[in-house]
Amino acid sequence: MKLFDGNLSWRCRLTLSLLSALLLSLGWVTVSGFTLLAALVPLLIISNSYGSSWREAGKMALWATLTFILWHVACTWWVWNAAAIGTIAASLVGTWWCLLPFMLFHIVSKRMPKGIAYILLTTAWIACEYIYIKAPAMSFPWLTLGNCFAFDTWAVQWYEYTGVLGGSLWVLLTNIVLFEAIRTKRWVAPAVVAALPLILSLVLYSANAPKREQYTSRTAVKIASIQPNVECYTKFLTSREILQNNLMMQLKESPTDADFILMPETSLAATVNERFIGATRIVQGISSYLKNTGSKAMVIAGTESVMAYGTRRKSDTNRRSANGSYYDIFNSSIGINSNPAEQPIHNKCKLVIGVETLPAWFRAGGIFEVDLGGTAGQLGIGKSAEPFSHNGIKIAPAICYEGLYGDFMGEFVRNGAQIFSVVSNDGWWGDTPGYKYLFAYCRLRAIEHRRDVARSANTGISGFINSRGDALQTLDWDKKGVIVEQLRLNDKMTFYTRHGDYLGRLSLYVALLCLLYTVAILSKKKFYLD
């Protein structure tokens, strides 16, 4: 049976739907995203086989839903290890954001020229990804199409101009021209669309090759990354004294001539009062150690912090104490140096859904809240991405999930950050793809902003990434230790850093124009027909 004769059997459509799900999934369950360049072609073939009736559109929606739900389950199943509701919610919401643009394309393609329909598919899909990234309380853009190249960083060096949404554009355009090539037997267009970004990337990859002779005291820093390897689920049940002693022992293994020393998210196992950070015992201990050893380093460590507001409520994230006063609990990173009076703090701005934040309408009864130990429920939300300044160097103190957001990390750079640090505690899901991709996504952030990255994770992966996205020295899963690397500083901003997710904003406008144009044309036709 020919694929384009409009008479496909349900078995053929099922096979195509499953094939599309497989090709989409391979971008995350393997270490290459190139299968996505053809992943939507089977769905486009199914769409081509249906007519213009609403009944036929309903059938198409079922096949598309099957594809997208299987894709999301295959690539986010590991969330189940921490919370079953997480996998279910991520799969359902993610499927919706894919189904919407694809079905808009399908419906429009039956009533308008193919060119309009293809423009709508491309722009509406990217617009939906953009909205999902920017959604204040329901954002989980794990499967943004451009993220699939996190292990193929040599191929997407042009992300410094487009961000990951440029990768999504590449995937969508390649699928469209490949589908048309299969239909018309004309293969020049897909070859050009697939090859040109690769050629450009290889040129940029070569141009950005690090040169060790450029590593001077003014252009490079020495950073130590500590990985304590403390079991996530028992961490908060362990004596704080034991945790802090272990941490201090690893601190003593770090070189005294380091510029920065990283400790993972919530590594201090202490609640810090933001008004009196230097009064916290573990902070005092680290500060004294730095002073006594003559170390000029700043220790960047994750902790839980609290900010009290008195009896006046400031926002809907506030908790109320027994005495009637309001306060926020934050997931924070603090900078500790030899002067206890100078301890900057960064409160996490991008919170994990279900664990750290929920929309107000989901919070009643705590049904959807996931307790992973320590603080659960609604945390306070940080206001800005301000870098820490130390000895004339500005470093971004990002926390775990924040590394998933390209434009947000760009805010650190726009505020002066010359290098990225990321502290994380991402072992909740065990030895699964989750923590591997959190590290890999930091490789994309390095390319987008041309900033070296230092990462400290509780159970792995800790390590270093250069501005080309190359992974340097690492400590893998379930390892304990301290690693040291010299990284470069950069004061320049990329095109993407300056303009952020402009492709998302532009796509949103173009998609709306396409829809308005379609409605206008179809309304005009109906008027004349009547």
Structure confidence at residue 374 (pLDDT): 43
Secondary structure (H, E, C), 442-476: HHHHHHHHCCCEEEEECCCCEEEECCCCCEEEEEC
pLDDT tens digits for range 238-269:
667 778 888 889 999 999 999 999 999 989 98
**Reduced to 3 states, what is the DSSP secondary structure of residue 310?**
strand
Residue 400 has pLDDT above 70, yes or no: yes
Average pLDDT, the chain: 90
Mean pLDDT of 522-528: 74
Asked whether residue 354 is domain-assigned, the answer is no
| Number of folded domains that form the chain | 2
- Give 212's pLDDT tier (boundaries 50, 70, 90): low
Structure confidence at residue 39 (pLDDT): 97
Torsion of CA 182, 184, 188, 191, to 10 degrees: -20
Residue predicted with more confidence, 383 or 524? 383
Asked whether residue 323 is domain-assigned, the answer is no
Cβ neighbour number for residue 496 with a 10 Å cutoff: 27
- Give 231's pLDDT tier (boundaries 50, 70, 90): confident
Asked whether residue 36 is domain-assigned, the answer is yes
492 with 519, same domain: the answer is: no
Structure confidence at residue 372 (pLDDT): 45
We report the CATH number of the domain holding residue 473 as 3.60.110.10
32 with 99, same domain: the answer is: yes
CA atoms within 13 A on the CB side of 472: 20
- Give 317's pLDDT tier (boundaries 50, 70, 90): confident
26 with 137, same domain: the answer is: yes
Structure confidence at residue 375 (pLDDT): 46
pLDDT tens digits for range 427-467:
878 888 889 999 999 999 999 999 999 999 999 899 999 99
Residue predicted with more confidence, 361 or 8? 8
195 with 244, same domain: the answer is: no
Structure confidence at residue 214 (pLDDT): 65
Mean pLDDT of 89-100: 92
DSSP bridge pairs for 471: 465
Structure confidence at residue 377 (pLDDT): 57
pLDDT tens digits for range 138-187:
789 999 999 999 999 999 999 999 999 999 999 999 999 999 999 998 89
Asked whether residue 29 is domain-assigned, the answer is yes
pLDDT tens digits for range 29-39:
887 899 999 99
Residue 340 has pLDDT above 90, yes or no: no
Asked whether residue 213 is domain-assigned, the answer is no
Structure confidence at residue 414 (pLDDT): 98
- Give 235's pLDDT tier (boundaries 50, 70, 90): low
Asked whether residue 376 is domain-assigned, the answer is no
Structure confidence at residue 528 (pLDDT): 60
191 with 141, same domain: the answer is: yes
Give the helix/strand (H/E) hosting 424.
strand 419-424
- Give 56's pLDDT tier (boundaries 50, 70, 90): very high
Range of the domain at 447: 221-304+334-344+385-498
* Complete DSSP assignment for 248-283: HHHHHHS-TT-SEEE--TTTT-SEEETTSGGGSHHH
520 with 423, same domain: the answer is: no
Q: Which has the minimum average pLDDT: 64-78, 339-353, 485-499?
A: 339-353
Separation between Cα atoms, residue 63 and residue 156, nearest integer Å: 31
Structure confidence at residue 367 (pLDDT): 47
Asked whether residue 329 is domain-assigned, the answer is no
Residue predicted with more confidence, 326 or 80? 326
Distance linking the first and last C-alpha atoms of the chain = 40
176 with 161, same domain: the answer is: yes
Work out the percent of the chain whose per-residue pLDDT is above 70. Answer: 92
201 with 244, same domain: the answer is: no
225 with 121, same domain: the answer is: no
251 with 135, same domain: the answer is: no
487 with 412, same domain: the answer is: yes
CA atoms within 13 A on the CB side of 365: 4
Asked whether residue 4 is domain-assigned, the answer is no
Tokens describing residue 112: 């308008």
Judge whether 87 and 71 are in contact, CB under 8 Å.
no
Residue predicted with more confidence, 379 or 504? 504
62 with 168, same domain: the answer is: yes
Q: Alpha carbon 424 to chain centroid distance?
A: 13
